[in-house]
Amino acid sequence: MTTLAQYLTLLPNSLSEADKIEYTQLAYEDVVKKPKLDPSIHPLKFTNHIKLDGFTFKGVMVDSLSEIAFKEIVSINNCDILDTEQDFGTVDTALFGNIEETDYGFTDFDLVNESQSTTPEIYQAASSIVCTNVSECFTLLTGYMYPYFCTTADGWYVDRHYYDIQTMVDTYTTANLIVDDVLMVLAIFQVLSRFYGKNADTNRENIYHKFGPVDLVNLHNNWKNTIGNDGYDFIGIPDGNN
């Protein structure tokens, strides 16, 4: 395991720690969208209307309050797709539970969907998800959740996790954060590309950009094509290896 403190030592010494984190954040936001991810299943509870749209509209883990963002939503149980630009009004918070727990971490789980006697009617229109027949509903969402660049030893089910690296550092310090192996390698090349580009070294800028965010991502994604998918029974904690 590589800590964030160890990762930062791999970046150019002329950069301050703040600059290294800023460069890494920009690199992360770019490269995290490129590797293929495995789908994972997430218990979802919401009131009336929510939005889930990448890093723009994120959900929250019910116990830890970790941020949850999706690259793509595969499916939502009992959900139909609407082709409309309708404004559904106030946006509520999307609450996600822990699928490894009996009641998914929702302490008032028995109160939703009218004590399980009503099937919620859910519709998705662009980034909006609405329920029309019960005010508070429970369902299951399958999607491609973005992995965090760095995590704590206890993980995002327990500790509050953010996609913003500086916020993670402010909360846990660099020595107590573990960097995702795949994202770390991809980010290093992207950081070096940006660094040399800012210093007018176009040759090295292009070399690092092609080798990291292009060639390595293609190798990773081609490898993912060969291993298939294990199904939806249990995916595990999302990270850059998935």
Would you list the DSSP string of 166-192?
HHHHHHH-GGG-EE-HHHHHHHHHHHH
The reply to whether 200 falls in a domain is yes
Burial tier of 175 (Cβ tally within 10 Å: 0-12, 13-18, 19+): exposed
The three-point CA angle 82-124-235 to 5° equals 140
- The answer, yes or no, to whether residue 42 has pLDDT greater than 60, is yes
| Span 58-117, pLDDT tens digits | 999 999 999 999 999 999 988 888 877 777 888 999 999 998 888 899 988 888 887 778
Residue of higher predicted confidence among 54 and 197:
54
Is residue 26 domain-shared with residue 95, that is, in the same domain? no
The reported pLDDT for the residue numbered 231 is 40
The reply to whether 236 falls in a domain is no
Is residue 127 domain-shared with residue 91, that is, in the same domain? yes
The reply to whether 11 falls in a domain is yes
Would you list the DSSP string of 90-108?
SPPPPEE--TTSTTTT-TT
Is residue 30 domain-shared with residue 71, that is, in the same domain? no
Is residue 57 domain-shared with residue 113, that is, in the same domain? yes
Is residue 28 domain-shared with residue 86, that is, in the same domain? no
Least Cα distance to 46 among 12, 97, 5, 117 occurs for 97
The reply to whether 120 falls in a domain is yes
Band (230; pLDDT cuts 50, 70, 90): very low
* Residue 98 lies in domain: 40-145
The model carries a pTM of 0.84
The reply to whether 49 falls in a domain is yes
The reported pLDDT for the residue numbered 202 is 75
Residue of higher predicted confidence among 133 and 205:
133
Is residue 110 domain-shared with residue 14, that is, in the same domain? no
The reply to whether 177 falls in a domain is yes
The reported pLDDT for the residue numbered 20 is 96
Mean pLDDT across the chain, nearest whole number?
Answer: 84
Is residue 85 domain-shared with residue 21, that is, in the same domain? no
The reported pLDDT for the residue numbered 234 is 39
The 122-125 sheet, strands edge to edge: 49-51, 128-131, 122-125, 79-81
- The answer, yes or no, to whether residue 1 has pLDDT greater than 70, is yes
The reported pLDDT for the residue numbered 233 is 39
Number of domain units in the chain: 2
The reply to whether 21 falls in a domain is yes
Instruction: Tell me the C-alpha to C-alpha distance, in Å, between residue 199 and each of 145, 160, 187, 204.
Output: 35, 37, 18, 10
The reported pLDDT for the residue numbered 108 is 83
The reported pLDDT for the residue numbered 236 is 42
Burial tier of 21 (Cβ tally within 10 Å: 0-12, 13-18, 19+): buried
Is residue 58 domain-shared with residue 141, that is, in the same domain? yes
Provide the Cα torsion 231, 130, 91, 235; round to 10°. -10
The reply to whether 64 falls in a domain is yes
| Span 123-147, pLDDT tens digits | 998 889 999 888 889 999 999 999 9
Is residue 44 domain-shared with residue 141, that is, in the same domain? yes
